[in-house]
Amino acid sequence: MLKVAILGFGFMGRMHYRCWRSLAGATVTAVCDADPHALDESARNRGNIAGAEGDVDLAGVKVYGDFEEMLRQEPLDALSITIPTHLHPAATIAALDAGLHVLCEKPMALNLADGTRMIEAAQRSGKVLQIGHCIRFWPEYAKAKEIVDSGVHGRVIAATFQRLAATAARRQQTWYVDAERSGGMALDLHIHDTDFVQYLFGVPQNVCSHGASVPAGGLAHIVTRYGYDDDKLVLAEGGWAMMPPFGFQMRFHIALESATLDFDFHRDPKLRLSTAAGEMIVPPCEPGDGYARQIEHFARRIRGEDVPDVVTPQEALLSLRIIEAERESAHTGRPVTIGGPNAEEESSHAV
């Protein structure tokens, strides 16, 4: 039985708790939150996607207010890190150094240097470090990747992704609107689609972004074209300045040579495949959501099962790098070249 703790019991901490509790072979033995009111009723239901609300039964679970104390006192195998983003690196490195496997929420860190230190800690410890890029595990997105990769419907002509939220209004008084703590909209929200674009097509050669800012809180909306060595058009739009009644939306359209895939989070069926033969098919998807599926995957990796590398820490770091390029492009109004994972090394060899 895997003994698991959760660090940070806000929106995502509750989500991880729900997922761990429904997974066989694992038990949540401790939760830690620095805010003594984090377990109150008022702390519920604060995020984008429903699922973390409802009664939290903490019977038999030890509650800590201090992470270091929990690390010292609890015999643990794994930790879910669901605290604000600027705190991810220190907590991840401490947990890995203490011999725990770590599932750390996305984005892994605010910058490449911190993300690199997290990867080095994982390599040093030999433990699993997984970053919570849950969209790679989201059933309809995973199915879309399977269909695109199969090549059955030809190559991708165009793919557009969209993610819109009311975070700026709903979480006005929180760490989210402080770019020093959250990284701002692009790193916090839009990275889901940036990361999925990387998963589907690899690291783009360049990005060309346009953004709009709000007076308090910086970049609030972004549209990016991801450039590859062919002429497919890959676009993603992200924004968190929607008003609360709008709620949340994630969508995509993928035009293949002989079929069209489209997904709408609020529609039933969510994912459809329209074919050249005039049929509309509902591709069968795995049950559940990306949160539960990523946690199941993490548990299987800890147990040493032979599962594919759905998301590596290096890929999570590359998603940070692409976001940095998108922000630079939105700021300067010019396309930004990304280069390969060893771009700095390659360019130093070139001179």
Ligand X SMILES: NC(=O)c1ccc[n+]([C@@H]2O[C@H](COP(=O)([O-])OP(=O)(O)OC[C@H]3O[C@@H](n4cnc5c(N)ncnc54)[C@H](O)[C@@H]3O)[C@@H](O)[C@H]2O)c1
Residue 46 C-beta: closest distance to ligand X, Å = 5
Q: Which of 2, 4, 6, 7 binds ligand X (CB under 6 A)?
A: 7
Of residues 228-287, which lie at the interface with ligand X (CB under 6 A)?
A: none
Alpha helices in 151-289 (DSSP H): 167-170, 179-182, 184-185, 191-201
Asked whether the CA dihedral 58, 59, 61, 65 is positive or negative, the reply is positive
Binding mask 78-117 for ligand X (x = CB under 6 A): ----xxxx-x-----------------xx-----------
Q: Is 21 in the site for ligand X (CB under 6 A)?
A: no
Helix axes 290-302, 11-21, angle to 10 degrees: 60
Task: Tell me how crowded residue 169 is: count the other CB atoms within 10 A of its CB.
Answer: 15
**Can you tell me whether residue 258 is helix, strand or coil?**
coil
Instruction: Figure out which of the listed residues 30, 32, 147, 165 binds ligand X, where binding follows CB under 6 A.
Output: 32
Candidate list 26, 38, 222, 259; residue touching ligand X; CB under 6 A: 38
Helix axes 112-125 and 313-332, enclosed angle (nearest 10): 180
Cα-to-chain-centroid distance, residue 343: 24
- Least separation in angstroms between CB 187 and ligand X: 8
34: buried, middle or exposed (CB in 10 Å: 19+, 13-18, 0-12)? middle
Q: Least Å distance between CB 121 and ligand X?
A: 18
Which one of the spans 34-42, 120-128, 198-206, 228-236 is the region binding ligand X (CB under 6 A)?
34-42
CB 236 within 8 A of CB 161: yes
Is 9 a residue that touches ligand X (CB under 6 A)?
A: yes
Whether 22 and 29 have beta carbons less than 8 Å apart is answered as no
Minimum CB separation from ligand X for residue 174, in Å?
Answer: 6
Other C-beta atoms within 10 Å of 271: how many? 21
Backbone angles phi, psi at 31, to 5 degrees: -130, 150
Which range, of 9-17, 140-148, 219-227, 269-277, touches ligand X by CB under 6 A?
Answer: 9-17
Q: Which is nearer to ligand X, 4 or 156 (CB)?
A: 4
Laid out side by side, the sheet with 259-264 consists of: 280-281, 271-275, 259-264, 248-256, 156-165, 233-239, 218-227, 206-214, 336-337
Q: How far is the CB of 280 from ligand X (least distance, A)?
A: 29
- Candidates 285, 97, 107, 291; CA nearest to 187 is 107
To ligand X, the closest distance from the beta carbon of 232 in angstroms equals 27
Rounded distance, CA 221 to CA 106, Å? 19
Number of chain residues interacting with ligand X (CB under 6 A) = 26
CB-CB contact of 158 with 255 (8 Å): yes
We find the least distance from the C-beta atom of residue 312 to ligand X, in angstroms, to be 17
Please give the biggest Cα pair distance in the chain.
63
* Interface stretch with ligand X, choices 32-40, 92-100, 194-202, 327-335 (CB under 6 A): 32-40
Nearer to ligand X, 132 or 313 (CB): 132
Question: x-or-dash pattern for ligand X, window 170-209, by CB under 6 A?
Answer: ----x-------------x---------------------
Site stretch for ligand X (CB under 6 A), options 29-37, 155-163, 193-201, 269-277: 29-37
Q: Does 51 help bind ligand X (rule: CB under 6 A)?
A: no
- Smaller CB distance to ligand X: residue 77 or 105? 105
Question: Minimum Å distance from CB 123 to ligand X?
Answer: 22
Tokens of residue 156, six digits: 């991708």
Could you tell me which stretch among 7-15, 20-28, 196-204, 328-336 binds ligand X (CB under 6 A)? 7-15
| Positions in the binding site for ligand X (CB under 6 A) | 7-13, 32-35, 38, 46-47, 67, 82-85, 87, 105-106, 132, 134, 174, 188
